[in-house]
Amino acid sequence: MCLGIPGRVVETYTEHDVLMGRVEFGGVYKRVCLEHVPDIVANEYVLVHVGFALSRIDEVEAKRVFAFLEEMNQLDDLEAHSP
C-alpha cells in the first residue's frame, strides 16, 4: 500500500503558511509538502507519498541492514575457515 519513495530536499519554502519544498528524485524535481517534517534541511532525504513527506530518512538506520549483511559475511568467512 502507499507508494513511497525517498527524495532529497533541495530547498524549502512556505505557501499558504504550509512548509513546502523542492524534492529531487533521481534528477527529477517535484513540489512536496514538508509540513510534517518541520526540522528538515536541504540535502536530507524524506520519504514521499502522494506529494507529501511522511518522515525523514535516518542515515544511520539506513545502513543497518548492510552492517547485518557484513556480519553475515564475517560469519560466512568464519564458517569457511572453521571446518
Interface map 5-44 toward another protein (x if CB under 8 A):
xxxx-------xxx---x-xxxxxxxx-x-xxxx------
Q: Is 52 left (phi over 0), alpha (psi -120 to 50) or beta?
A: beta
The b/e string for 32-57 (b: 16+ C-beta within 10 A; e otherwise) is bbbeebeebeeeebbebeeeebeebe
Q: Quick one: cell of 24?
A: 529531487
**How many degrees, rounded to 5, is the angle at CA 41 between CA 39 and CA 44?**
110
Q: How far is the CB of 35 from another protein (least distance, A)?
A: 7
Measured from the CB atom, is 28 or 81 closer to another protein?
28
Confirm or reject binding of residue 80 to another protein (CB under 8 A): no
Measured from the CB atom, is 43 or 83 closer to another protein?
43
Contacting residues toward another protein, per CB under 8 A: 1-8, 16-18, 22, 24-31, 33, 35-38, 45, 47-52, 54-55, 57-59, 61-62, 64-66, 68-69, 72-73, 76
